[in-house]
Structure formats: structure tokens, C-alpha cells
Amino acid sequence: MSRLLITNARLVDPVAGTEQPGALLIQHGRIAALGPRLGQDGSIEAERLDAQGAVLAPGLVDLRVQLGEPGAEHKESFATGALAAVAGGVTSFACLPGTLPPIDDPSMVEFVARRARRARLAKVYPYAAITKGLKGEQLAEFGLLREAGAIGFTDGHQAVASARIMRRALSYGRLIDAFLVQHPEEPDLARNGVANPGPIAARLGLTSVPREAEVIMIERDLRLARATGGRIHFSRVTTAETLDAIRRAKAEGVRVTCDCTPHHLALNELEVEGYRTFAKVSPPLRAEADRLAVEAAVIDGTIDAIASDHRPQDQDSKRLPFASAEFGVVGLETLLPVALRLFHDGRIGLPALMSRLATTPARLLGIDAGTLAVGAPADLILFDPNRPWKVTERDLHSASKNTAFEGRLMMGRVETTLVDGRVVFRRDQTSSGSED
């Protein structure tokens, strides 16, 4: 049936800033109507889905996901990554270009788009590299990559170290209003660093990544953005000083946005005690004062979006001495419940939180998502914000299990995910998605 009526729901609309009981009608994959009394008179002929009081909200839009395909499919393929996404309520995500080979030419952009369509689950949008081969030496062909379908440009886990190259990227990007994403870490200062500087790193004998590595890179690029009029997005900001710089730049009218990750929002440097490699991330988990600053910036809107920074690693990559282990954690399936901690603490309302998770990321990427507006694609999630559950590797759908939250208790879990009005995931059922 091409019509589906979701009844008995708690409608959370981040665009309108509203939260109310009601129903929502889907027709031909798009939202046809919604409201508190919709369908109560029995006049709508449609298949019905009883939400049983669950929150009905736009599907999450994730700005930062690393897949392993091509080159490291054993860590995450398009199929496993897309399944993990819909299990976590992510209906659209942008994938980073750090594959083998990297996504730096139109044929690779088209390959990613083609492979993602075959999974028939979450919508996947490829970033292209800012520089050819992610080497930081020569700009990629922005115009051709955009025409091939690149949603934005980034060198992924590597910073564009050259101020000259970044200035050119901002200038050229301004001409096509490109979404330019920088990993804000000055490479020389960060070289070989694996932990936050301080007593814990010193006692464990771990080399550190100074907070200044982030601040210096961001202040440099803010100056370049101000000079060129280009648009810059900083991914994974972690320090109070950095956030103050971004806050001031926004007030001046600089075209800057930023995101944070769930792990930097919820965890601090204490997690690396015992050389716990599943807490080895880039940038490193910071001190508690910086974590609190990240929380405050999500609430006051300085941080525009929360991104999973999903970076799957297999056991061989993580079961190593701390200094040798790979960076990164999986995050698609814990993005929502970790963010919900701010709601449960009474620090932010659901509409505002969903805006950081869906509406604003969609706007930054320029895609039609993140809203309950009539006529919008029916990319939706149903979730119970009060459902308790425990994170276990066994229950994760990702091919890799390197979660930083193993064994943690969470509140809130996605029950059903719809993409274009099609149910692609139900917590108690097998996903309907499959390879062609």
C-alpha cells in the first residue's frame, strides 16, 4: 500500500520547535499530512502503524561516517554500515573520502553512490577530498566532483596543513558554495600524539596532542575564511578555547559552523586509564572542563551538529599497545542515546536536540531531510527516549565492534526507522534491506 498512517505518536518537529501527540500520514514516500487529530474520524484509508506513544521525529543526518569499502570491507562495507545506520536511526549520512583508493575523482564519487544505492537502507552521500590523494599538496577538481555527486569536501582524518592550499580551497569553494570540512589539528604539534596532555598521559607514558594544536588551526582558518568569504566547517571540536574562538567568529559574521562527537560529549580523558584502546580517538578525549564546555556549546547552539564520527576498526587494529592501536570508535548506533543524556538531564528540549542531530546537518549538506514538513521525504524514526538498554558488542550491527560505550547503560533506543516511507528497520524484526 502506498499510504501509511502512523498513529498514537509523539510528534517532535525540530523546525517548528514543537512537540505534541498526533498522527502522520505518508503517501508515495513523502509526508502527506500530520496533526493532533489526523485520522481520528476514520476517514483515511491507509495501512496503519501504532506508535504506542513513541516519539516520531525526522531521521538523523550524520555528517561524519567512515566506511571501509573499498579497501577495508572487513571493517565496514556499505551493507553493514548502512544497516548500523538505520539501526541507530540514521537515515542519511555523509561518508568520508579516506578509502583505498581515496574519493578524489568523479569515478570514485559515482562508485560510492552506486554501491550505496544497492544497500537500499540509509541514504549515503559521498564527500570528495579537498586535495588529490589526501596529500595536502594539490587541490582536487571541485567542480567536476560536485557534478559527479560530491556532497562536500574534506581530507577526512587529516588536516589541510598548508595555509596556502586552504586559502585557495576557501576561495574556490566560495564560487560554488562548497561545504568545506576541516579536521582542526595542527599536524606538527599533533605528531605522534595519542592522548590529552596532563597527569594521566604523563603517568601512562603516552605522548600527547596539545590543546593548542586545535586552537592554532582553527584560528588560522577563521582568518582565512574571514579574508576569502569562504565557508568553513570544523569537525570534532573539543576545547573550551576553540569554542570561544568560533563563538566570536560567528558573532562577527564569519561563515563558520562546527560539530562535536558523542564521545567528546560524554567521556573524558579518564577513559584511557588501563591503556584502553577503545577510547583512543582523534582528537583525544579531553579534560572534564573541556567536556563541559562542549556540552554547553551544544546547548547554546555554538556547536551546530552532533556527528557520530563512526570509524570502524577490527580487533587486529585495536588489540595492540595503546600507542600502536588505530584511532576511532563506531558510533552510528549510540549517537542518539548518548545525545539524549542532555535531554534526560533537563539541559535541552527534544526539538532542539533533534535539530542538532537532523535538521541542521541536513541544512549544512544541502539535502532534503531533517524535517516533518508536508511534502518532505518520509525519512523518520520512532524511538522511546526512556527505554533502558545496555551496549554490548554482540548487539551492534556494524561489522566492527570498537565501541567506546561497551557495557554502558543507555536511555533511549530507536525502535523503527523509515526511509522514503519504507520501513527499513524494526528493533524486533529482521531489516527489510538487502543487496540487489
**Would you name the residues annotated as active-site residues?**
309
| Residue burial 99-136, b: 16+ Cβ < 10 Å; e: rest | beebbbbbebbebbbebbeebbbbbbbbbbbbbeebeb
d(CA 181, CA 175): 16
d(CA 232, CA 221): 8
Cell readout for 118 is 544497492
Specify burial of residue 28 (Cβ count, 10 A radius: 0-12, 13-18, 19+).
exposed
DSSP label of 241: H
Q: Which of 348, 337, 258 is nearest to 295 (CA)?
A: 348
Q: Which residues pair with 125 in a beta bridge?
A: 94
Label each residue of 252-306 as H, E or C.
HCCCEEEEECHHHHHCCHHHHCCCCHHHCCCCCCCCHHHHHHHHHHHHHCCCCEE
CA atoms within 13 A on the CB side of 46: 24
d(CA 427, CA 88): 10
Cell readout for 245 is 574562538
d(CA 85, CA 333): 7
